[in-house]
Amino acid sequence: MFNYTFHWNQAFKALPQMLDGAVVTLQIALLSMAIGLACAIALTLFRLSGNRILGGFATAWVEVARNTPALFQIYMAHFGLGNFGIHLSPYVALLAGIAFNNAGYLAENFRGALKAIPDTQTRSARSLGMTSMQAFGYIVLPQMLRIAFLPATNQMIWAILMTSLGVTVGMNTDLAGVTQALNAVSFRTFEFFALAAVIYYVIAKIVTLAARLFAARMFRY
């Protein structure tokens, strides 16, 4: 019944290739976080603006991002836009899909964080002659980012893991894509994917630790 023979050597020989893939994975995750963060701040401002069109746009974004599968979002970026003549490469489609997802979740984190900041902070800032944008930028935003920082690290981990969905749109340079390609020629499914899982785990752990160190240095108040 159990007559599978492990061939770890093949997997270990492919390790340099897989690590190259891991670099691409980390790159996509970091870029998608940076884009997602910028979009989430914009969505938060849209919601605060009191403008119904901007607010509705932000709400629609957050609703779709949080209530549909990430796979669907990446598919839409690749095949969905493709139907309208916008052809994104697997790399860009994967990046766009994950950034879209990140922005939705981060915007929701920010909404919660904003509730923890008393509106007297804004009143004080405005009383000192600051414009509403200055009050947001110098007083509210830094406090919001601090409160939302640890939930945002979760999203970063999630972004790293979501990159593995890239194989479904033909991505073959990230960790999951490289692993899938190696598997396709060797059929050493267990070995390759077990090794990939370990690499994902290590990346996620390093990111978590780095985030904690960063928080300890940055947030001293």
Please give the size of the binding site for other proteins, defined by CB under 8 A: 20
How many Cα atoms are found within 13 Å in the side-chain-facing hemisphere of 118?
4
The reply to whether 134 sits near other proteins by the rule CB under 8 A is yes
Nearer to other proteins, 125 or 169 (CB): 125
142 belongs to the binding site for other proteins (CB under 8 A): yes
127 binds other proteins (CB under 8 A): yes
Residue 154 CA from chain centroid, whole number: 9
What is the nearest approach in angstroms of other proteins to the Cβ of residue 135? 10
The span of 8-16, 55-63, 131-139, 157-165 binding other proteins (CB under 8 A) equals: 131-139
- Cα–Cα distance between 74 and 89 in angstroms, integer? 11
Q: Is 194 in the site for other proteins (CB under 8 A)?
A: no
Distances (CA, A) of 104 to 15, 22, 59, 155, 175: 35, 25, 9, 10, 25
- Please report how close the Cβ of residue 144 comes to other proteins at its closest, in angstroms: 10
94: nearest Cα among 180, 201, 172? 172
Q: Give the residues lining the site for other proteins (CB under 8 A).
A: 118, 120-121, 123-131, 134, 138-139, 142-143, 146, 220-221
